[in-house]
Structure 1
Amino acid sequence: MSETSFSPGADLPTGRWGHRGVLVAMCLALILVVASVSALNLALPDLAISLGADNTALTWIADGYTVALAALVLPLGAVGDRIGRRSVLIVGAIVFGGASLAAAYADTTSTLIAARVVMGVGAAMIMPGTLSTITATFPPEQRSRGVAIWSGFAAAGAIIGMLVAGSLLERWGWESIFITSAVVGVVAAVAAAALAPNTRDRDPQRFDVIGALATSIAIGTLVFAIIEGNDRGWTTLPVLICAGVCVLGFVVYAVQGTRTQHPLLDPQLFGLSGFRAGAIVVLTQFMAIFGFFFVGLQYLQLILDYSPLLAAIALIPVAAVVMPTATVTPRLVSWVGLKYVMAAGLALIAVGLLWISRLHVDSGYAPFLGGLIVAGLGIGVASSTGTSAIVGSLTRDHQGVASAMNCTTREVGSAVGIAIMGSVFSSHYSNHLPDLTTLPAQAADAVRDSAAGGLAAAEQLGGPPGAQLGAAVRGAFIDGMSASMISVAVVLFVAALGCALKAPRQQPDSDVTDNR
């Protein structure tokens, strides 16, 4: 298929099956990226035992992929704007598939983390092109619906990935997740080549190398400092150095953005109220979503003793609520106003997390489900409004930047959410463990490393001592989970208040040049 440039006033490019084909191809690629963030969470208990991974290693296994994706999605999105979004997406799918196969054969946590990082690089090449291709090919009257469908799959794709992973883990090991990801990567590449046009910027500008390096380094060191600060100590030299480099990276980005004629992401865009509010909503909601998956799936498997598949099925109500809510949200915005809908969405997610934070060892699934439903309503509302506010704040010629910003904020939120909730959980879990000096050294180490290892040690110990140890591990797990949920809920309430006060009342329109 020939390359197509988008220009205002010209016929919009479409693929062989029109807009429906573009949606199918882009949403398939999107699900691949999103599912790979969440699916591995189901395998964390198995990884803790089979690879001997402690809580910090488990956090890095989950977050190595997300950190690379968050750090590189903005510069690689800009590359796609210049040379063709479909072209970059297809190469990314190939890189993703190769790294997935390597991960399937990893025999140490270090090897698995490295493979996950390379998968994140491939995902960063895929993701920005999914949204920008939709916004560049859909006419204005259909664009909101296309973005809403994309947002729905972006949220529900995590559940889809977990269902597939749960089914695989019923019969095979964690390696099967990566083999399946490699196969889907090939299918996504073929679908993009067959069904989507190769859109790109009409007038590409010089690439902002300094801005790309500054943002990538800043995001990577931010997450490193959060995860390792909990493990090594917040005042240790490596953590302090990373924190300083992170601040320096963001300062360099801001300064470079004001000095160069064509910055990677113009800092002045944050002066647009819709753009700023949308970025905050996307960042904080995904901080909550993927931080919750990291801890919540372990609750279902370790506390409720669910199988991986049953744990994934237990989260289906979120997808069942998110998709229809995201679809009707544009109407709700037209009736009530953008700022109030945004605030309500974030507040609902926070309430859902606080609800779940009140659970105890014997609560069961029903109270957990109540929190899921409330949070799912909030996710459906926030995912649609946040993305629409970002893409609507920029002109159609700059939808690559809008898409990259949307993807960057969601992946930064995901990476930071996993890091924060994983670190808070690990800290409180360790602090609430009983005295382990009476246990054999190997069993004590397993308990300290992870709740999965601790419960396995309790089972091996057997008898009343084993039952007592198992109860202590479960209690420590619940304490860690509650603290992690509360920490992110507070952030969400603050963001909701900010949106209610500062976000624009009306939905920004990309066909209007000034959306301040």
Structure 2
Amino acid sequence: MRVEYRTDDGSTSLRAGWLVLITCAAVSLVVAGIAALNTALPDIAADTGATTGQMTWILDSYTLILAALLLPAGAIGDRFGRRGVLLIGLVVFGLGSLAAIWVEGPTALIVTRFVTGAGAALIMPTTLSLITAGVPKDKRAFAISVWAAVAGVGAIAGFFVTGVLLNYFHWHSVFITFAASTALVFGLVLTIGSSKDEHPGSFDVIGSLTSTAAIAGVVFGLLEGPHRGWTDPLVLSCLCVGVVLVAVFILVERRRTDPLLDVDLFGNRAFAAGSLSVMLQFLASFGLFFLILQQLQLVFGYSPLKSAVALFPLVVGVGSFALIGNWVAARFDSLRFVISIGIGVTAAGVIALGVFDIDAYWKVAVMLGVCAVGMGLAMAPSTTAIMSNTPVDNQGVGSAVNDTAREIGAAIGIALAGSIMAAGYESRIGPTADAAAAQISPIDPDAAAVADEAIRNSMAGAVKVSDELGPMASSLADEITAGARAAFEEPLQTSFVVLGSVLAVGAVFLGWFTPLKVVDDAVSAPSQHMDD
């Protein structure tokens, strides 16, 4: 039975609100899943014996498979029904989370993260496409604003919940909580309607395989670059192959009658600007998470839970201004100004973190608040511009483009910040590591070699060495901590300035390129409906 949504029906509005609530609950699981293990990783590594490389992939395997599968997953939802694909995604996500509590080694845990990421790829695009297909047109902008706000701050919720759980329980509790939450959301999703493409063509297998390989190559290269080095043959090969496959994907899609993605959509300025804006926002947010969490924990000495609470200015700012940005963009036909000003304000906040001496938390809070205002303003209008300029039957693919832009932006932000931090710290920490090894070596040469490597690897390693020395060597411990902090803080500030500068250039470009209206004149957005 087909039901056409009407704005004058009170039950319809209630039903649409319930749809938004349930889909936002589902997407919050995916976003929290990206961030949660950052907090739990030290405990996981201690229990499983994970090496540094394995620790990296416990985190990155989820992101890699999520980003790679988003476009095919969105198309599958459009073709076979978005609610059904969402339910399958929740089952896969929940089973992957639950399996993690029974694994014994890091390799098996990485496999469970791949499974969970595949489930997340089925969940994420279907949530937004269900909203755009199921909410009345006059309420759609607000609904997208709510979704964008939840997707924007879900990572902080992941940090916070994980911090609370680890304060009282074993790290298994994180995965148990994800599995239980997924089961609850699964039951709730059964109460909402579905939607799909009324006239799907043949499924684009070649486009799906090409896009998956292309995005996997690019994201893998970006994730591994800071660890292996950008001249590493594997990193260079993956990046080059990924870029070539992107070009192949474009050529293939232009020749297909039923393409996975109509690449000509990027000729629509609102669609293209929205995609670029989303990528820049997540470049900023995940670059900030990477840097700020280290600063709070290693310089300010905050616990993981206290660090998550310290990020709450982002939650308040993004949550509030995401609701404002869409209204302003639609009410005054000012998409260009809202997006460019939002990215520009974010750039100012990030640069300020690098320019000013941040020696107290209140300064961090103020700068994070500025960043949050900018991200909040740009976030919802960018997503609305993507979805409003995507044909009605391809809303899942449009949502997947939005989500892929997020994942690629996040990978670039972490890669950029991580590379600057690693190179800067490595170039400055040598004298401190040498001095520490020289003092420890006469007592225990093996311990000196271990300490030297840990100090050179990261400030976290240096802090751990300092803590393990104990009160009997307090002067050496203080010397190591001071030297590591000095080696850490300058590249930290440089990273903020570079990230902010990239955003500033992006803001200027968006101010020139973005059209005034959310819906570009070149594309009409037909009315949308839901299946009961």
- TM-score by length of structure 1 reads 0.91
Secondary structure at 1:176's aligned position in 2?
helix
From 388, 391, 394, the equivalent of 2:384 is 388
Secondary structure at 2:100's aligned position in 1?
helix
Cα contact 1:59–1:419 (8 A) shared by 2:
no
Cα contact 1:432–1:479 (8 A) shared by 2:
no
Cα contact 2:333–2:518 (8 A) shared by 1:
no
Cα contact 2:78–2:393 (8 A) shared by 1:
no
Q: Corresponding residue for 2:502?
A: 491
Cα contact 1:343–1:500 (8 A) shared by 2:
yes
1:134 partnered with 2:134: no
For residues 233 and 325 of structure 1, do their structure 2 counterparts lie closer, same or farther at Cα, with a shift above 3 Å needed? closer
* CA-CA distance at 1:227 after TM superposition: 3.3
For residues 31 and 292 of structure 1, do their structure 2 counterparts lie closer, same or farther at Cα, with a shift above 3 Å needed? same
Q: Corresponding residue for 1:430?
A: 426
Q: Percent identity?
A: 38
Secondary structure at 2:501's aligned position in 1?
helix
Q: Corresponding residue for 2:292?
A: 296
Q: Corresponding residue for 2:261?
A: 265
From 293, 305, 309, the equivalent of 1:309 is 305
CA distance in 2, matches of 1:480, 1:47: 28
* CA-CA distance at 1:92 after TM superposition: 1.0
Q: Corresponding residue for 2:315?
A: 319
CA distance in 1, matches of 2:322, 2:13: 27
* CA-CA distance at 1:95 after TM superposition: 1.1
Name the amino acid aligned to 2:503: L
From 55, 71, 74, the equivalent of 1:74 is 71
For residues 160 and 83 of structure 1, do their structure 2 counterparts lie closer, same or farther at Cα, with a shift above 3 Å needed? same
* CA-CA distance at 1:81 after TM superposition: 0.9
Structure-to-structure mapping, 1:66-465, within 5 angstroms: 66-194=63-191, 196-333=192-329, 334-335=331-332, 337-358=334-355, 363-435=359-431, 436-437=433-434, 438-439=436-437, 440-462=448-470, 463-465=474-476
Q: Which moved further from structure 2: 309-318 or 270-279?
A: 309-318
Q: Which moved further from structure 2: 441-450 or 107-116?
A: 107-116
From 30, 35, 40, the equivalent of 1:33 is 30
Q: Which runs of 5+ in 1 are unaligned?
A: none
Cα contact 1:166–1:312 (8 A) shared by 2:
yes
Residue-by-residue CA offset, 1:409-447 (whole Å, 9 max, x unaligned): 112222332233233323322222133244211122222
CA distance in 2, matches of 1:448, 1:57: 19
* CA-CA distance at 1:46 after TM superposition: 4.3
Name the amino acid aligned to 2:452: A
Q: Corresponding residue for 1:507?
A: 518
Secondary structure at 1:119's aligned position in 2?
helix
For residues 493 and 107 of structure 1, do their structure 2 counterparts lie closer, same or farther at Cα, with a shift above 3 Å needed? farther
Between Structure 1 and Structure 2, whose CA radius of gyration is higher? 2
CA distance in 2, matches of 1:460, 1:70: 39
CA distance in 2, matches of 1:217, 1:21: 37
Name the amino acid aligned to 1:394: T
CA distance in 2, matches of 1:11, 1:84: 27
Q: Aligned-residue CA RMSD in angstroms?
A: 2.7
Cα contact 1:63–1:419 (8 A) shared by 2:
no
Cα contact 1:42–1:297 (8 A) shared by 2:
no
Name the amino acid aligned to 1:188: V
- TM-score by length of structure 2 reads 0.89
Residue-by-residue CA offset, 1:185-223 (whole Å, 9 max, x unaligned): 1111111112x1121111112111111111211111112
Cα contact 1:393–1:510 (8 A) shared by 2:
no
Secondary structure at 1:136's aligned position in 2?
helix
Q: Which runs of 5+ in 2 are unaligned?
A: 438-447, 527-532
Residue-by-residue CA offset, 1:90-111 (whole Å, 9 max, x unaligned): 1111111121123344554444
Secondary structure at 2:244's aligned position in 1?
helix
Cα contact 2:7–2:138 (8 A) shared by 1:
no
* CA-CA distance at 1:499 after TM superposition: 0.9
